[in-house]
Chain A
Amino acid sequence: MTSRLSAIALNTFREAVRDRVLYNLILFALLLVASAPLFGQISIDIEHLVFVNVGLSSISLFGVIIAIFIGIGLVSKEIEKKTLYTILSRPVRRWEFIVGKYFGLMVTLVVNAALMTLGFYIALLVTSGKWTSADGRLLVPIYFAILEFLIMTAVTLLFSSFSTPIFSAIFAFAIFVIGTFGDDLRNFAGAAHGITKWFATATAYILPNFAPLNVIGQAAHNQPITGSLIVVNTLYALIYSAAVTAGSVLIFERRNLK
Chain B
Amino acid sequence: MKRRNTVTIVAAALLVVLLTGSVLARQRVEGLRGKEATLEEILYVPSGEALKRMSLGYSSLLADIYWTRAVQYFGSHFDQNSTRYDLLAPLLDITTDLDPHLIVAYETGSIFLSQSVPAGAGEPEKAVALLEKGIRENPQYWHLYFTLGFVHYIDRKDYKAAQKAFDTGSKLPGAHVWMKVMAARMAERGGDISTAIALWQHILDSNTDKAIRENATMHLASLHADADIEALERVVHIYFDSTHSLPREWSDLIHRGILRGVPLDPTGVPYKLTPDGTVTVQDLSKFKFLGEFRSNRN
A: residues with CB less than 8 A from B are: 93-95, 181, 183-184, 186-188, 191, 205-206, 209, 211-212, 217, 226, 228-229, 232-233, 235-236, 239-240, 242-243, 246-247, 249-250, 253-254
Is B19 an interface position by the 8 A CB rule?
yes
Report yes or no: A246 in contact with B39, Cβ–Cβ below 8 A: no
Which residues from B are CB-within-8-Å of A254? 8
Q: Mark B10-33, 1 if CB is under 8 A from A, else 0.
A: 011011001101110110111011
Report yes or no: B21 in contact with A243, Cβ–Cβ below 8 A: yes
**Complex: A95 Cα to B5 Cα, angstroms:** 12
- Contact partner of B26 (CB less than 8 A), chosen from A95, A236, A250, is A236
CB within 8 Å for A217 and B42 given contacts A236-B26, A239-B21: yes
Would you give the shortest CB distance from B19 to chain A, in whole angstroms? 5
Which residues from A are CB-within-8-Å of B65? 181, 184
Closest to B68 in A: A184
CB within 8 Å for A229 and B32 given contacts A250-B11, A253-B4: yes
Report yes or no: B32 in contact with A226, Cβ–Cβ below 8 A: yes
Report yes or no: B39 in contact with A187, Cβ–Cβ below 8 A: yes
Report yes or no: A191 in contact with B21, Cβ–Cβ below 8 A: no
Closest to A243 in B: B18
Report yes or no: B38 in contact with A183, Cβ–Cβ below 8 A: yes
**Complex: A191 Cα to B78 Cα, angstroms:** 12
Which residues from A are CB-within-8-Å of B72? 184, 187-188, 191
Which residues from B are CB-within-8-Å of A94? 4, 7
**Complex: A203 Cα to B119 Cα, angstroms:** 31
Which residues from B are CB-within-8-Å of A212? 29-30, 33, 37
Would you give the shortest CB distance from B269 to chain A, in whole angstroms? 55
Report yes or no: B15 in contact with A232, Cβ–Cβ below 8 A: no
Give the contact-size bracket for chain B.
20 to 34
Would you give the shortest CB distance from A147 to chain B, in whole angstroms? 11
Report yes or no: A250 in contact with B12, Cβ–Cβ below 8 A: yes
- Contact partner of A249 (CB less than 8 A), chosen from B11, B28, B29, B39, is B11
**Complex: A95 Cα to B9 Cα, angstroms:** 12
**Complex: A36 Cα to B193 Cα, angstroms:** 65
CB within 8 Å for A242 and B14 given contacts A212-B33, A212-B37: yes
Which residues from A are CB-within-8-Å of B22? 205, 236, 239-240, 243
- Contact partner of A184 (CB less than 8 A), chosen from B12, B28, B69, is B69
Report yes or no: A232 in contact with B11, Cβ–Cβ below 8 A: no
CB within 8 Å for A239 and B4 given contacts A217-B44, A229-B33, A233-B29: no
List residues of B (30-86) whose CB comes within 8 Å of A's CBs: 30, 32-33, 37-40, 42, 44, 65, 68-69, 72, 75-76
Report yes or no: A188 in contact with B25, Cβ–Cβ below 8 A: no
Would you give the shortest CB distance from A22 to chain B, in whole angstroms? 25
- Contact partner of A246 (CB less than 8 A), chosen from B18, B37, B42, is B18
Which residues from B are CB-within-8-Å of A191? 72, 75
Which residues from A are CB-within-8-Å of B30? 186, 212
Report the 5 A-B pairs with minimum CB-CB distance, sorted nearest first.
A243-B18, A236-B25, A246-B14, A240-B22, A250-B11
